[in-house]
Chains A and B, each alone.
Chain A
Amino acid sequence: MNTNLHVMKKMLRAVILPALLFCISAVFAQSQITGVVKDASGQGLPGVSVTVKGTTSGVITDADGTFSLNAADGAVLVFSFIGYESVERTVAGSTSINVELHESTTLLDEVVMIGYGTTTKKELTGAVTSVKSKNFNTGNFNDPMGLVQGKVAGLSITKPDGADPMAGYQIILRGTNTLMAGQGPLIIIDGVISADLKNINFQDVESIDVLKDGSAAAIYGTRGTNGVIIITTKPAKAGKGAFEYSAQVSTQVAPRGVQNLSAKEFKHAVETYRPDLASGSLFGSETNWFKEITTDAPISYQQNLALSGGTDKFSHRTSLTHSIGQGLLLNNVSKRLLVKTNLQQKVLDDRLTLNFNFTNSLRNYKPANYDVFRQAFIQNPTQPVYDDTDPATGGYSYKQGLEYYNPVAMIKERTRDGKTNDIILNLRATAKILDNLSWDNFISTQRSEWEENSYKTRYYPTTLGRGEAEIANGRNINNQFESMFNYETSFGNHTLQALAGYSFQEFEQSNSYIGNSQFDTDVFLYNNIGVGQALIDGSADMSSGKSSSRLIALFGRLLYNYNEKYMASASLRREGSSKFGDNNKWGMFPALSLGWRMNKEAFLQDVEWINDLKLRVGYGITGNQDFAPYQSLIILERVGSLFYNQQWINSYGPGQNPNPNLRWEKKKELNIGVDFALLTQRLRGSIEFYERKAQDLLWLFNVSVPPYLYNELFTNVGTISNKGIELTLNAQLIKKGDFQWNSTLTVSHNQNTLEDISNKEFPRTSYPSATTSGILVTYTQRIQEGKALGTFFGPVWLGVKDGRDVFKNQNPIGQVSEDKWEDIGQATPFATVGWSNDFSYKNWTLNINFRAGIGGKVLNLYRLYYESWQRMGLTNIVHTQYENPEFTGGIVYSSKYVEDATFLKLDNLTLGYNINLASKYISRLSVFGSAQNVFWITGYKGIDPEVSLSGLTPGIDRPSYYPRTTSITVGVNAAF
């Protein structure tokens, strides 16, 4: 260790000495220059770097944009600021130089976050898409990912849970790369890894950067496989105090639920097609169950206040958000209070920068039970909601049927309250050890506390006469420490940036649950849970658990570029996770990417219509460790109770087959990309080709018992590949006088293939999956080698003959044996398209976003379960049966219910107006009106073919769902 220290000292001396000499040599024949740097609107620009060209001496402009430095006569001053075009001025006798900087139109200087650092668009070698706040979707979002929906090719952002105010987006990047581990991209918010999107208000977001390929994501090692999304929030800003306010009010209109028969249609259908049922299925009322459980026009609103200001030594920004989101379902609401503060301070002659973040996110909510919508669907429309003949049912109409419950009673006779309280604290200290060597330390802690309580009264349909209370709560802790050195240098045409760091992260989860029932009164709700009789009878529930895991890594990266023509990036992360078997705790995750700016070569230099052309090639290895801890250990857990010597004792034993050889899932990805800017920058874009292969996939394999204890073993076998192409085009279509039309088109295609799921020990190559439950039990998909995940298999439906389904290859009794089932389509679309358009005319702006999915299949479970006269009786059926009454058969799974999922959606339509105010106090005032989820065009017979595509069973439109609505928002934004 001592010798190491000695060597390091020597090395540092070798670096420091030349640097010192360099500084000294620059000091001669100076005179003082002062001036102001302003932006195009005339505002002083703080933070602009002013340097004397060819030297390292320079200053930063202060809060008003003024600067002062010494420079020799004839020296050239370089004014540069991120996002602005650099300007050079020669000192020619004058002692005052005022400069106006213009926002960079080339966009090539735009900063791109690459994880543990930044680069510029022009130097970028990986597949990274960066979206800045000025390019965000406009409108109102309860999750910041809505800002970039449709804007990043290959990033699927969908909301399968409809209008639920609690629902976030489902995010999938470049297909499914795992069978069992997590599928979501790694979310990083202001340096906090595995952050939670719900702890951030969309208006606080400055930029969203998506690290798509393996070479870009490999710096995050074990968690990079599903891509990395880096969210940067608006930082503290020096300058005179600024104050911003915004408010939005929304309502939900045009609710769309699955269509069943109205009371009149139902009565007609029973009398016409099922007269045998007339006695037990017509109850004389007319009830629209969907209307009974929904609110007419639920109102939501959000207000946000942001304060910022300070000097270049000390600045701050605080944002306060309050929102109430009302669901379409009765008693379904989410309220949120979010406080976020960022403080920045520079000390020790600006050598140490402290950046402190505090976030507190409080949420109170009443969650939705999606099954209520299914109950409303199957409920007999001739049954009344209320019926007070039987006092035991509390005035609700009650009919006996398998899993048949009055949905109005389910809502009104249950109290559900949820709360989350997230506190995030972090501090980043960046020490500038040398001018080009900095040391960055980041310490962060996130504590998330949650509770969810419920009380079902004695009139709740499944707990009639008893009452049932539940209390569940828990805490998650995410602690992170990172330390890294950053070194930058340039000599001649060479620029080099080097990074080396250490990362430590620990997660801890704990939870507890109590359930009790049979209360004498409903007045306690869940607040006096001990008094239920079930506790005394021994049938109350109580449980708790705790687990933790740890990740430790060393990482480094070199970025090199020669004259902005040839670029290279190499990174390596060595990471260990406590979740893995003793022999496989550590893994290596290297990446290399190269860039070649072709338009700088002689043969393209004179081609005028090419403004920029860059070829990128990257290769990287990433991992996935997103699964439950302790899978590799031999753990004794309670396996049951044993009657021993006249008392019941717990028996402990291995609860799973231990697998000490558990190791990383590894993904290798090759990405080839081209960035281009053509026709004087009016058309910009990128094309990406990629091939990613995830190997050593974890899967719960069936094993023989004996020799194993249980018939499932969690182990690494299998390979999934995803190949695809992504196109992003940004075009300035029209710029004429005051009118401007900018458009972004993203198109992506991905082909997923399960290459391999067998080996010598596990020879099976096909597994049934997506098994339905309830009235019809059948598998609908197969996980099969050579096929995409989510491939439907089933009988091929040929049509209806004599009222019955006819299938290809059917046997004499009309059935198709499983070995004759065929591939009847895959759930994932062939291509997804996003098209967003920004129009501006004078003070008006208009934003129109379309999104489309082309190809892909969706299984309509509502039709499968309820499209048959035989399914009618106590329960209602789906309306499509009423439209095709000639079908009299029973329900059999087949391609009849696997429908084309192609759709075109108008996601967002926002019209804004900037009000010109010559006010001294109000610097900006704008209003907007926005509609989201405006309409969609599809041939699908259900509500919306865009269903969940994540997990192993994508493309299934499930019976328990939340309806879709169109939301209309009006809002105001003001800056003071």
Chain B
Amino acid sequence: MKKYILKPALAIVLVFLTVSCFDLSETVYSEIPADKFFSNERDIIAYAGRAYIALQPYPEEQRLWSLGENASDELAIPAKDNNEWKEGDRWQVIDKHTLGSATATNKILTRAWDMVFQGISACNEILLVVSPVDFENKERVIAEIKILRAFYYYWAMDYWGNVPFSIVYGSKELPEQKNRQFIFDFIIQEIEDNIDFLQELPNDEYYGRVTKPMAYMLLAKMYINAQEWVGQNKFADAVAACDQIIALNAYEIADDYFSNFAVHNEGSKENIFVIPYHPQLTDEHFYWAHLTLNEASVSTFNMNEKPWDGFIAPEEFFERYATNDIRRKSFLFGQQYTKSGSPIVIEGENFIYTPHIDNYQARKKWEGVRCAKYEYQEGLKYDVVDMENDFVLFRYADVLYTKLEALHRGGGSVAGFISDPDLQKIRTRAGLAPYTLGDITDDELLDELGREFAWEGHRRQDQIRFGVWGNAWWEKPASGPNKKIFPIPASAIVTNPNLIQNPD
């Protein structure tokens, strides 16, 4: 009797233990296991695209653009009289150039660094993964990623000078710290080695991607700053790089300055390298309207929520525009109007943005001029409907002004270039008289670069190159030469003992 029960019981157990289940492999549903991905060229681009997506955080509140601009004289974030934007002085240390080893935990500094080095690491990983796969245009795609990596390194050496250097993925070795000269040489070499594989002329397919003119503009940027960065006179090389772009005859100075920054600026013939944005699809966002506007501006732009009222242009900078300079309209000032054109009055008070800010520590709500250089589309709502304008990194006006400056500084023939019709058009479309030879001085060039490229991520480099970075302005005291580069974020030093902090 007992055996009858025992036998089938044993049999069931044995069958169960052998057939079923000691299987612990994971079943993945909502993600893709890495070995099931590449099947065609589009997949490769979708994969390599991560290196471009790493650019998208650039103009956000707490990233690279914000760090550089806050430190320059064209943007400031004073504390409001209701304590907003005080935020433990994390903006003010950047503004006043007091960021140093003691404040290297600063969130904006950290997130700026993270953005750049995640871009570099993404490029390294993509190169490793893509290299063994065969596909059409492989050399071009690889060259693109390498130049993009050089572009991230350009940012890294510009902001921090001495940075960790790694161009391979897969090892856990911590990268060593290299100085500016090393990174400079690397970037130049990388451009020279790869530029010939790149797409030469801009077209629809290569919109927003690395092309030959983008690489030449990067080269020109390297050379125009070479004196400052590595003590080498490379102005003639800068001119040559600009001439390569000019010779392509693919770009022009737009009739309307603001068309380069329109909601749909993808048709611009002036823009060379942009970060494309989609109001919903891009996970990182372009939301200057929120950063700069006061909530009363909602009815000017039919926004769908209240903006945050933080980033303003200091009065001193704003006054550099002549009143007849069309580019002055890059900023909102004076009486504000609704979309339909009637003056905005809030609780009996006319809504006026005033250039003057009385108290840096207690800015009143409508003090400070606001940026409206990029056209604001209707219905903006953070993370729901963000700005669709593509962010301009390089444009043709920059090529021409870089050439002008390189000629001026390097002793080249300014006279031979000054009457270039495209160069003159930059002035005339702003409603100003074209430059004559006598106009070109250091001071004028610096001011003009400020006016033309306001809030485009240009100013910090310009102020350093023109030697005025250490000057005092507004609340910023005079600062020493060490402040030309930022401290390395504490999080990077902690995770990589090879890194030595930049001197305070």
Q: Does B300 contact A (CB under 8 A)?
A: no
Q: How far is the CB of B70 from chain A (nearest CB, A)?
A: 16
Known: A483-B13, A548-B29. A652 touches B24 (CB 8 A): no
Q: Does B247 contact A (CB under 8 A)?
A: no
Q: Does A704 contact B (CB under 8 A)?
A: yes
Query: A778–B88 contact, CB under 8 A?
Result: yes
Other-chain residue from A466, A545, A707, A870 in contact with B166 (beta carbon distance below 8 A): A707
Contacts of A643 in B (CB 8 A): 207-208, 276, 278
Query: B120–A706 contact, CB under 8 A?
Result: yes
Q: Does A539 contact B (CB under 8 A)?
A: yes
Contacts of A548 in B (CB 8 A): 26-27, 29
Query: B87–A578 contact, CB under 8 A?
Result: no
Query: A642–B49 contact, CB under 8 A?
Result: yes
The CA of A651 and the CA of B3, in the complex, are separated in Å by 63
Q: Does B164 contact A (CB under 8 A)?
A: yes
| Binary B-proximity of A698-738 (CB < 8 A = 1, otherwise 0) | 00001111111111000000000000000000000000000
Q: Does A798 contact B (CB under 8 A)?
A: no
Q: Which residue of A lies closest to B172 (CB)?
A: A707
Contacts of A642 in B (CB 8 A): 45-46, 49, 52-53
- Which of the candidate stretches B31-39, B326-334, B457-465, B467-475 sits at the interface with the other chain? B31-39
Q: Does A388 contact B (CB under 8 A)?
A: no
Other-chain residue from A549, A646, A707, A768 in contact with B26 (beta carbon distance below 8 A): A549
Contacts of B56 in A (CB 8 A): 640
The CA of A457 and the CA of B208, in the complex, are separated in Å by 40
Query: B118–A704 contact, CB under 8 A?
Result: no
Which of A431, A704, A710, A890 has the most C-beta atoms of chain B within 10 angstroms of its own C-beta?
A704
Q: How far is the CB of A885 from chain B (nearest CB, A)?
A: 19
Q: Does B384 contact A (CB under 8 A)?
A: yes
Known: A8-B10, A433-B6, A433-B9. A639 touches B50 (CB 8 A): yes
The CA of A319 and the CA of B430, in the complex, are separated in Å by 83
Query: A504–B21 contact, CB under 8 A?
Result: yes
Query: A351–B5 contact, CB under 8 A?
Result: yes
Contacts of B304 in A (CB 8 A): 466
Q: Does B324 contact A (CB under 8 A)?
A: no
Q: Does A254 contact B (CB under 8 A)?
A: no
The CA of A576 and the CA of B171, in the complex, are separated in Å by 29
Binding site secondary structure of chain A: mixed
Contacts of B170 in A (CB 8 A): 707
Other-chain residue from A546, A635, A711, A890 in contact with B495 (beta carbon distance below 8 A): A711
The CA of A870 and the CA of B495, in the complex, are separated in Å by 40
The CA of A802 and the CA of B286, in the complex, are separated in Å by 45
- Which of the candidate stretches B121-129, B412-420, B446-454 sits at the interface with the other chain? B121-129
Q: Does A887 contact B (CB under 8 A)?
A: no
Other-chain residue from A280, A629, A646, A651 in contact with B207 (beta carbon distance below 8 A): A646
Contacts of A8 in B (CB 8 A): 10
Q: Which residue of B lies closest to A19 (CB)?
A: B2
Known: A635-B33, A705-B114, A777-B87. A644 touches B49 (CB 8 A): yes
Q: Does A24 contact B (CB under 8 A)?
A: no
Query: B34–A636 contact, CB under 8 A?
Result: yes
Q: Does A967 contact B (CB under 8 A)?
A: no
Q: How far is the CB of A595 from chain B (nearest CB, A)?
A: 32
Which of B27, B87, B164, B496 has the most C-beta atoms of chain A within 10 angstroms of its own C-beta?
B27
Q: How far is the CB of B10 from chain A (nearest CB, A)?
A: 7
Other-chain residue from B29, B122, B171, B276 in contact with A547 (beta carbon distance below 8 A): B29
Q: How far is the CB of B361 from chain A (nearest CB, A)?
A: 10
Query: A654–B306 contact, CB under 8 A?
Result: no
Contacts of B82 in A (CB 8 A): 402, 873
Query: B20–A578 contact, CB under 8 A?
Result: no
Contacts of B169 in A (CB 8 A): 706-707, 709
Q: Which residue of B lies closest to A637 (CB)?
A: B31
Query: A709–B121 contact, CB under 8 A?
Result: yes
Q: Does A347 contact B (CB under 8 A)?
A: no
Q: Does A604 contact B (CB under 8 A)?
A: no
Query: A439–B24 contact, CB under 8 A?
Result: no
B interface residue count range (under 10 / 10 to 19 / 20 to 34 / 35 or more): 35 or more
Known: A706-B166, A764-B494. A640 touches B26 (CB 8 A): no
Q: Which residue of A lies closest to B175 (CB)?
A: A706
Known: A1-B18, A642-B53. A648 touches B278 (CB 8 A): yes
Query: A539–B491 contact, CB under 8 A?
Result: no
Q: Which residue of A lies closest to B89 (CB)?
A: A815
Q: Which of A469-511 contact B (CB under 8 A)?
A: 483, 502, 504, 510
| Binary B-proximity of A525-569 (CB < 8 A = 1, otherwise 0) | 000000000000111000011111110100000000000000000
Query: B494–A539 contact, CB under 8 A?
Result: no
Q: Does B284 contact A (CB under 8 A)?
A: yes
Contacts of B166 in A (CB 8 A): 706-707
Query: B14–A5 contact, CB under 8 A?
Result: yes
The CA of A538 and the CA of B377, in the complex, are separated in Å by 15
Query: A763–B172 contact, CB under 8 A?
Result: no
Q: Which of A625-659 contact B (CB under 8 A)?
A: 629-630, 633-637, 639-646, 648-655
Q: Does A579 contact B (CB under 8 A)?
A: yes
Known: A433-B2, A635-B31, A890-B83. A650 touches B46 (CB 8 A): yes
Q: How far is the CB of A550 from chain B (nearest CB, A)?
A: 6
Contacts of A431 in B (CB 8 A): 5, 9
Q: How far is the CB of A701 from chain B (nearest CB, A)?
A: 8
Q: How far is the CB of B192 from chain A (nearest CB, A)?
A: 23
The CA of A641 and the CA of B305, in the complex, are separated in Å by 25
Q: Which residue of B lies closest to A642 (CB)?
A: B49
Q: Which of B45-96 contact A (CB under 8 A)?
A: 45-47, 49-50, 52-53, 56, 82-84, 87-88, 90
Other-chain residue from B26, B32, B283, B347 in contact with A652 (beta carbon distance below 8 A): B32
Query: B205–A645 contact, CB under 8 A?
Result: yes
Q: How far is the CB of B312 from chain A (nearest CB, A)?
A: 17
Which of B49, B87, B204, B305 has the most C-beta atoms of chain A within 10 angstroms of its own C-beta?
B49
The CA of A434 and the CA of B3, in the complex, are separated in Å by 9
Contacts of A941 in B (CB 8 A): none
Q: Does B19 contact A (CB under 8 A)?
A: no
Query: B83–A578 contact, CB under 8 A?
Result: no
The CA of A585 and the CA of B23, in the complex, are separated in Å by 10
Q: How far is the CB of B66 from chain A (nearest CB, A)?
A: 16
Q: How far is the CB of B43 from chain A (nearest CB, A)?
A: 8
Other-chain residue from B22, B83, B122, B276 in contact with A552 (beta carbon distance below 8 A): B22
Q: Which residue of A lies closest to B390 (CB)?
A: A643
Query: B53–A705 contact, CB under 8 A?
Result: no
Q: Which of B269-309 contact A (CB under 8 A)?
A: 276, 278-284, 295, 304-306
Contacts of A552 in B (CB 8 A): 21-24
Query: A576–B22 contact, CB under 8 A?
Result: yes
Q: Which residue of B lies closest to A703 (CB)?
A: B495
Q: How far is the CB of B462 from chain A (nearest CB, A)?
A: 29
The CA of A354 and the CA of B166, in the complex, are separated in Å by 66
Query: A16–B495 contact, CB under 8 A?
Result: no
Query: A538–B53 contact, CB under 8 A?
Result: no
Which of A12, A466, A644, A768 has the most C-beta atoms of chain B within 10 angstroms of its own C-beta?
A644
Q: How far is the CB of B265 from chain A (nearest CB, A)?
A: 13
Q: How far is the CB of A852 from chain B (nearest CB, A)?
A: 37
Contacts of A706 in B (CB 8 A): 117, 120-121, 124, 164, 166, 169, 175
Query: Could you list some 14 contacts between A and B, CB below 8 A?
Result: A5-B14, A402-B82, A539-B280, A547-B28, A550-B23, A639-B283, A641-B278, A641-B282, A646-B204, A649-B45, A651-B49, A707-B169, A707-B174, A870-B83
Known pairs A433-B5, A640-B283, A641-B283 / 13 extra A-B pairs, C-beta < 8 Å: A351-B5, A431-B5, A547-B28, A634-B33, A640-B284, A649-B45, A651-B53, A653-B50, A705-B117, A707-B172, A709-B121, A711-B118, A762-B495
A interface with B by C-beta (< 8 Å): 1, 5, 8, 12, 16, 280, 348, 351, 400, 402, 431, 433-434, 439, 462, 466, 483, 502, 504, 510, 537-539, 544-550, 552, 576-579, 585, 629-630, 633-637, 639-646, 648-655, 702-711, 762-764, 768, 775-778, 817, 819, 870-871, 873, 890-891
By Cβ-Cβ distance, the 4 closest A-B pairs, closest first, are: A642-B49, A546-B29, A643-B276, A651-B49
